Chains A and B, each alone.
Chain A
Amino acid sequence: MKLAILGAGAVGRSVAELAGEYGHRVTALADSSGAAVDADGLDVDATLARKDETGAVGDESVEAALDTEYDALVEATPTTLDDAQPGFGHVEAALARDRHVVLANKGPVAERYDEVRALEADSEGRVLFEATVAGAIPTLSTVRSLGPERVNAVRGVLNGTANFVLSRMAAEGLDYEHVLAEAQDLGVAEADPSFDVEGTDAALKCVILANVLYDGGYTLDDAEVAGIRSIPGSALELAAEDGRTVRLIGEVADGAVRVGPRLVPEHGTLAVSGTTNIVQLETDHAGRLNISGAGAGGPETASAVLADVGLLEPLE
C-alpha cells in the first residue's frame, strides 16, 4: 500500500519509519511547515533527517501531499476540538478522491463522527481509527469482532499522564504539583497538561467508543467530565488506608459517557500503574474482558495505525 502521512510528530514519524517493515511505501510525509512528496516512495530516513536538521520535512505544501498518489491517508496531526480542523478537512479531501483514511487524530471521529461516516458512505474509501482509542491496545477491533451490540459497557484507564500522576501520588505520598513537575521532567506530561489532567483526552476516547457502540450521535459535549487537578494527597492516603486507590476512569454505559476520578481496589484490575492503560469490556456472551498495554507512544500507536492499514483493500 502507498501511504500519505499527515503529521510528523511521534506517531506520524513512527508510522513512516515502520511502514517499510509492514510492506508499505510512504509517498508523502507532511507536517504544519511543509511536505515531502514522491509518488514512487520517499526515502523516509533522509526525510526525517532533514526534519531534524531544518525543522521541516520538505518544501512542498500539505495540499501537494493530499494530491499525490496513495491508497490510504494516515491522519496523525494534533487532535483539535469543535470543528476538528484541519484534520477533518484532510479526511474530507481523501474520501472525495475515493482514498482510505486511517486516523490517529481523535478530533474528526470524536467531534464530527456522523459527518465522517456520511462522507465515507459516499466514497470508495474506508475510515479506520483504531489508534484513536488507547493507542496500541486493540480496543475497537475487539469491539468489532464481538459486535458493538453485544458490548454493554466499556470502562478503563485511558490517559497515561493522568494515571502516572495519580499512581505516583499514591505510591510516594506526594502532592499533585510535585508529581506533575516530575512527569514533565520525564516527558510523560506536556508543558500544558490540561488536556490530560482535566479528563478531556480520556473523554474524547470514550466519545469515540460511544459513537462506535451506539452508531454515532456523540461529541465531547455529551460527556460528563471531571479531572484530577483538585485531588489532594490526603484523599489518596484515605483511599489507601481502606485498600483502595483513585484512578481517572472513563465509562461508556447505558448511552452515557462519564470520565472522572473513581475509587477502585488498590490491587484491582483497573488499578494499573504508571502510563499503562487498561480497557475493560462488559459483553453479553464473553463476560468481562480486560486488555491492558501502552495507550500512547510513537511506535506503540503506530502499530495500531499499521494494523488498520493491514485491513484495507488496495484501491484502483
Chain B
Amino acid sequence: MSESERVRAYTVRLELQDEPGELLRALEPIADNGGNLLSIFHERGNITPRGHIPVEVDLEATPERFEEIVDALREAGVNVVRAGAEEYAEELVVLLVGHLVDTDLSDTLSRIEDCGGASIDDVALSAPDGTDELSSARIRMDTHAGAAQQALATVREVADAKGLDVIEPLAGGGDA
C-alpha cells in the first residue's frame, strides 16, 4: 500500500439551502465516491447571514478519493465552505451590465479568474433584446479566504476597460 492510499479523516464544512432533501443531496457525492461517513453535525439553529444552514461532515477517505469527493460536491452544486485545510471564503456574486457579448464575455471571465483570488462557479447571461442591446450577466465566484476584495478589484478593472457596469455585492457584510 503506497503512502497516498492510506485512509485519513477529513472534515468538510458545507452550507446548504434550507430545503427538504438538501442534506441527502450533499451526502450522496461523499458515499458515491468512496468516502466513509463518520459524523454529521447539522447546525439547524445556526443559520448563516445568507440564510444557509452550516453542516460539518467528518469522513474517512484516501487523499485521492477526498479530492474526488470535493469535486463531486461542487459539481452537485453544494457550497463547500471548507475542505480539509483549504479555506474558502464566502461566495461572491456580481452582476455585469453592458455590451457583454461584443466585448468578449469569455475573455472577461478568464481575466477575472486570472487574478488568482477567485474561481468562477457559474455564469448566467441574459440578453432579451438581442446582443446589440444591453445585456446582463450574473457571475458567481468562490474566493479564497481574504481574496474577495482582490477579486472584486479585478472585476472592476476588467469592467472599466470594457465599458461595462458592475453591480457589486454590499461590502462589509451588510446583507444580514
Name A's B-contacting residues (CB within 8 A): 153, 155, 226, 230-235, 237-239, 241-244, 246, 249, 251, 253, 260-265, 267-270, 280, 282, 288
| B85 is an interface residue with CB less than 8 A from chain A | no
Determine how close the nearest CB of chain B comes to the CB of A154; give it in whole angstroms.
10
Q: Which residues of B contact A155 (CB under 8 A)?
A: 170, 172, 174
In B128-176, which residues have CB < 8 Å from any A CB?
128, 133-138, 140, 165, 167-172, 174-176
Inter-chain contact B134/A244, CB cutoff 8 Å: no
Residue B94 at the A interface, CB < 8 A?
yes
Q: Is B103 an interface residue when CB atoms closer than 8 A count as contact?
A: no
CA A231 to CA B164, docked complex, whole Å? 11
Q: Tell me whether A235 and B174 are in contact (CB under 8 A).
A: no
Contacts of A244 in B (CB 8 A): 93
Q: B50 contacts which chain A residues (CB < 8 A)?
A: 265
A and B contact pairs by CB, cutoff 8 A, 24 listed:
A155-B170, A155-B174, A230-B165, A231-B165, A231-B167, A234-B126, A234-B127, A234-B134, A235-B97, A238-B136, A238-B138, A251-B171, A253-B172, A262-B169, A262-B170, A263-B95, A264-B175, A265-B51, A267-B51, A269-B175, A269-B176, A270-B170, A282-B172, A282-B174
In the assembled complex, the CB of B151 is this many whole angstroms from the nearest CB of chain A, namely: 14
Asked if A239 contacts B138 (CB within 8 A), the reply is yes
Interface residues of B in 28-59 (CB under 8 A from A): 50-51
The answer to whether B124 has its CB under 8 Å from any CB of chain A is: yes
Partner of B170, one of A239, A243, A264, A267: A264
The answer on a CB contact under 8 Å between B170 and A263 is yes
Q: In the complex, what distance in Å separates the CA atom of A73 from the CA atom of B49?
A: 45
| Least CB distance, B94 to chain A, in whole angstroms | 7
Query: Across the two chains, which residue of chain A brings its CB closest to B17?
Result: A243
A243 to B17 Cα, complex, angstroms = 11
Complex: A261 Cα to B165 Cα, angstroms: 10
Within the complex, the shortest CB–CB distance from B79 to chain A, in Å, comes to 13
Please determine whether A246 and B171 come into contact, CB atoms closer than 8 angstroms: no
* Given A231-B97, A233-B128: 20 more A-B contacts, CB < 8 Å: A155-B170, A155-B172, A155-B174, A230-B98, A230-B165, A234-B126, A234-B128, A239-B167, A244-B93, A249-B170, A251-B174, A260-B168, A262-B168, A262-B170, A263-B169, A264-B170, A268-B175, A269-B176, A270-B175, A282-B172
CB of B112 to closest CB in A, whole Å: 16
- Write out the residue numbers on chain B whose beta carbons fall within 8 Å of the beta carbon of A234: 126-128, 134-136
Q: Are B167 and A280 in contact (CB under 8 A)?
A: no
* Interchain CB contact under 8 A, A280 and B93: no
Residues of B within 8 A of A231 (CB): 97, 165, 167
- Shortest C-beta distance, A288 to chain B (Å), equals 7
Query: Please, which residues of chain A bring their CB within 8 A of the CB of B175?
Result: 264-265, 268-270
- Within the complex, the shortest CB–CB distance from A167 to chain B, in Å, comes to 15
Contact B171 A288, beta carbon cutoff 8 Å: no
- Nearest CB on A from B162, distance (A): 14
Q: Which A residues are in CB contact (< 8 Å) with B137?
A: 238
Given the interface pairs A264-B175, A268-B176, the reply to whether A235 lies near B136 with Cβ below 8 Å is yes
